[in-house]
Amino acid sequence: MTDIAARRAALFALFDRLGIATTTYEHEAVFTVAESRHVKEQIPGGHTKNLFLKDKKGRLFLVVALGDAVIDLKRLHEVIGASGRLSFGSGELLEEVWGVKPGSVTPFGAITDTAGRVTVILDVTMMEHAVLNYHPLENTATTSIARDDLVAFLEATGHPPQILPCSESV
């Protein structure tokens, strides 16, 4: 069993232990919001994007919003309480801390960050959806989870999320 397969199995086992029901849809690998449009048409619920960011002091953030959300990265630090402007974390840092490769970023990576290095920020607009969709640690599938169950999962992994207005109206 590959490392990702083992971690994915551990993710679903944790969902089971927490009493969280999910539905997973297998599909071809998708790397961007644009590439995934045809996949999303087949799966109900809010579809998302995930931004792995760091501030000038090295603090790490995962900002999770709807896929079509407009996020002003120049001002986002003011909303989330970061030290100065934010930049994207490198692929190497993402894999080290969150356990996923670029293109597979997901709040479910919290299962890997046992040190609690990443602060998870959920956009308030995304949280209006009852069901949300994320990759289960790899971009060859999409897992649907209830909004409240996502919060319960994050809390169980030591990542109590902050729900903040990160996106702008379009």
Distances 104 to 30, 52, 79, 91, 130 between C-alpha atoms, Å? 8, 11, 25, 11, 22
pLDDT tens per residue across span 24-45: 999 998 887 777 778 878 899 9
Asked whether residue 169 is domain-assigned, the answer is no
Whole-structure pTM over 0.75, yes or no? yes
Phi, psi of 164 (to 5 degrees): -130, 160
pLDDT at residue number 40: 79
Domain residues for the domain of 132 are 3-164
Asked whether residue 138 is domain-assigned, the answer is yes
Number of domains making up the chain? 1
Bridge partners of 149, per DSSP, are none
Bridge partners of 63, per DSSP, are 51, 121
pLDDT-derived band of residue 98, with 50, 70 and 90 as boundaries? very high
Asked whether residue 9 is domain-assigned, the answer is yes
Helix (H) or strand (E) holding 25: strand 22-26
pLDDT tens per residue across span 105-123: 999 999 999 999 999 999 9
Tokens 């000038």 identify what position? Answer: 56
Bridge partners of 60, per DSSP, are 54, 118
Q: Report the C-alpha gap between 73 and 27 in whole angstroms.
A: 30
Pairing mode, strands 131-134 and 46-54: parallel
Asked whether residue 170 is domain-assigned, the answer is no
Judged by DSSP in three states, 109 sits in helix
Asked whether residue 38 is domain-assigned, the answer is yes
CATH number at residue 99: 3.90.960.10
Share of the chain above pLDDT 70, in %: 98
Judged by DSSP in three states, 21 sits in coil
Asked whether residue 49 is domain-assigned, the answer is yes
Asked whether residue 101 is domain-assigned, the answer is yes
